[in-house]
Structure 1
């Protein structure tokens, strides 16, 4: 191949695709609307503090290794990884929490102390989850979502019932302790759907959690973006920032270029790593594959209200990752998926990267990231942000038995309006389209446009789905599809 490729956006999937396409001999240019690359995985630096604005969890290190290995590289050529111990803790009440450590053996001990006999069930559950992981992450997710037959292998046919049962049903059948159930149901939230709407097969997320573990790249997740940028540039990729796309130019049903900042850039292939819905709005109506009604009916992953907080002291009784499940999980889930509204009592998550990594906060201080999952498309105002910050910080103080409000140096927030403004995100969703049964693999929006020749898509709204590892895989899948269609 020796084509010119224009890529819209510079998130994980776009950068991955750029690397593969450049390796195949194409002339690749990335157009990014913001001042810095990374898409949702950007960085905030303030007063000596460093925050990952987007993803903060590094799971499935084997997927990152596989990506870099395709270029004869290792992640360690670019950044240093540390396995977290504890991986995370989960609060259920004041001074009442369960800690998830760094090996399955230690986690079994924690489970057994909560529910007698649960460790034996956990080992069996994780063994099945590991098998699913080997099937899914090492094989199925590397298929392009073109045909239902991609999912039909001798192994998956034996597991067919796991596509029609749900994570919640399977977990609750084996475990009686509600706290343990919530911990086992938690990982699928990364897939953007409720545990009772996520196929059992996705238990491979539990293996990612308990079997492989949770990691932290030194200096934060943005180091992975910087690594991919270095790799892309070494392969000859050109990256243009502050270049929003005004329009995709189509001539006789064929994409021939893009218009950015009023300037036309002609190219053989257009690939969008930007929001799928937004990308189709850059086309005339007749060239759009999916109607507004189509998008309205889809189940989207949540949006989020995020706070980036600088504290003037070290925070106690928390881990690098800490979840707060002290309120009703199902009620909050209904407020996201069933009857979208601001939750009365939200669950929330907090990350303190400076516990692990002293590069993220000045000495003696703490960097805190707080996240409340929300329904996409909600009304977003400064007053609501302030109200919810006060809600969660008061609960945080009570649950962890410490005073922190008086120790806040500054806080920045990010919510629905920002997801729309910064990423053209449909309804301000944070993670793309949920991986439910009817939104899996070939049932997701396609990598290749059905209506415009030479137009392709990658990222969280297409195959294989939400999350950082799937985004890396999405970039590889679309690059392979382009190579297949344009080899000459």
Structure 2
């Protein structure tokens, strides 16, 4: 008889692990508390508009290829990819921006125009980043984070100094233009920490950016969710929505099942892709590995204040991905990481998918997602959300040289309280646990429970870290550990 596995949550890591486990012959059921699958990568629709509620960036296409190749498939079997040109745009002042092309040679030209001599350093930097990418993404990040020895290889020993020098110092030691510095520091924000706290080894994110490019799955990121759902079902995975886990049942130190909607479902193995902290709250206290004090001392990636906005006209002077860097990043970062509070004048990001993909908005209209990174756990009230919406719309109008407020058909907001309500997210964080030096690899919460036999975890709070590609990798790691360790 096949061993039964219950997988909590239906985000990228949960869906990835369920596919690997079903392929290995297990009887897999995915339990999703919400009415739709995808976790943070759900879709919101209104008045003919649609919005990716969570991830909007498709980076590291090779990781997606590797995932589908493991099942004899490829992404193009499920969705169509388009390389964005330009990749994105960074706005610094009124009608003054730097547009990032879709290839490295043109990016060098952009850098050289901004700062003479910078392109030479950029090529050296990206070549080093590519080398780190080869080491990290093709090897290190697929390791389970059980021991420091996983990081000690002849290759990493030669790069040990990169773990003790920050991205910020590396970049600022060679580039003088504040605009170019911000562009080079931007990709590591996906790792959830300040560039000054992120080891320079993580410059492989810059290769993901400039080397591999920015892509868009036609129809949006939810098409990737649908692809994984189709693959999972074809492998025999059962998916149940509106199924909330109330308690993980443990007998004699072994997980035996889950109370779901107050009904007991038996299992040989329980794998949670839900929030790690929340998952442990479903256990009796004696079976929890990490205390409240432990979680409170971790450095979390930001939460977000998001606005999903429908405009009744096409917008000018924006790209599919547009970063608004017209304020001082260091002050905003301090409000996120050093003194958690609402920022005075935050940087923000705009996603305008209907610039590229007509499926996101009715003809002649524009779908927009505005995102402000904020500290997790701060006060979240409607009046605060409204205040920041007015601020960013004022700045958006000024920076892009157009009036848009009268063209807003609707806006919906999403913030800390929603992340907690919908995803049981610790303090309402949006991206998980930051990848700082003290929270890397074996220093992150473990995939295999140390206290409960046959209980495992996957996702952004364990290895390898935040982001969609790491989530796919985390699912594979968790499935491999289960296959190797079950009943051991």
Bin for the TM-score computed over the shorter chain: over 0.9
Whole-Å Cα distance in 2 between the matches of residues 188 and 274 of structure 1?
24
Whole-Å Cα distance in 1 between the matches of residues 204 and 235 of structure 2?
33
Q: Can you list the C-alpha shifts for 1:142-185, whole angstroms capped at 9, x where unaligned?
A: 10001101111111100000000000000000101111000000
* 3-state secondary structure, aligned to 1:40: helix
Whole-Å Cα distance in 2 between the matches of residues 3 and 461 of structure 1?
26
Q: Is the 8 A contact 2:85 2:101 kept in 1?
A: yes
* 3-state secondary structure, aligned to 1:89: strand
1:50 maps to which residue? Answer: 50
CA-CA distance at 1:119 after TM superposition: 0.4
TM-score w.r.t. structure 2 length? 0.99
Q: Can you list the C-alpha shifts for 1:305-345, whole angstroms capped at 9, x where unaligned?
A: 00000000000000000001100000000000000000010
2:376 maps to which residue? Answer: 376
1:337 maps to which residue? Answer: 337
Q: Is the 8 A contact 2:454 2:486 kept in 1?
A: no
* 3-state secondary structure, aligned to 2:450: coil
1:448 maps to which residue? Answer: 448
1:483 correspondence with 2:488: no
* 3-state secondary structure, aligned to 2:40: coil
* 3-state secondary structure, aligned to 2:173: helix
2:470 maps to which residue? Answer: 470
RMSD across aligned C-alpha pairs, in angstroms?
0.8
2:134 maps to which residue? Answer: 134
1:65 maps to which residue? Answer: 65
Whole-Å Cα distance in 2 between the matches of residues 345 and 302 of structure 1?
16
Whole-Å Cα distance in 1 between the matches of residues 355 and 80 of structure 2?
16
Moved over 6 A (4+): none
Whole-Å Cα distance in 1 between the matches of residues 406 and 219 of structure 2?
27
Q: How many corresponding residue pairs?
A: 488
1:115 maps to which residue? Answer: 115
Query: What aligned pairs does 1:211-230 form with structure 2 within 5 A after superposition?
Result: 211-230=211-230
1:367 correspondence with 2:367: yes
1:389 maps to which residue? Answer: 389
CA-CA distance at 1:487 after TM superposition: 7.4
* 3-state secondary structure, aligned to 2:41: coil
Q: Can you list the C-alpha shifts for 1:193-251, whole angstroms capped at 9, x where unaligned?
A: 00000000000000000000000000000000000000000000000000011000000
CA-CA distance at 1:486 after TM superposition: 2.2
CA-CA distance at 1:403 after TM superposition: 0.5
1:146 maps to which residue? Answer: 146
1:417 maps to which residue? Answer: 417
CA-CA distance at 1:3 after TM superposition: 1.2
> Which runs of 5 or more residues in structure 2 are unaligned?
none
TM-score w.r.t. structure 1 length? 0.99
1:355 maps to which residue? Answer: 355
1:245 maps to which residue? Answer: 245
Whole-Å Cα distance in 2 between the matches of residues 269 and 191 of structure 1?
30
CA-CA distance at 1:99 after TM superposition: 0.4
Whole-Å Cα distance in 1 between the matches of residues 114 and 155 of structure 2?
34
CA-CA distance at 1:262 after TM superposition: 1.2
* 3-state secondary structure, aligned to 2:92: strand
Query: What aligned pairs does 1:71-470 form with structure 2 within 5 A after superposition?
Result: 71-470=71-470
Whole-Å Cα distance in 2 between the matches of residues 422 and 469 of structure 1?
22
* 3-state secondary structure, aligned to 2:343: coil
* 3-state secondary structure, aligned to 1:219: coil
* 3-state secondary structure, aligned to 2:342: coil
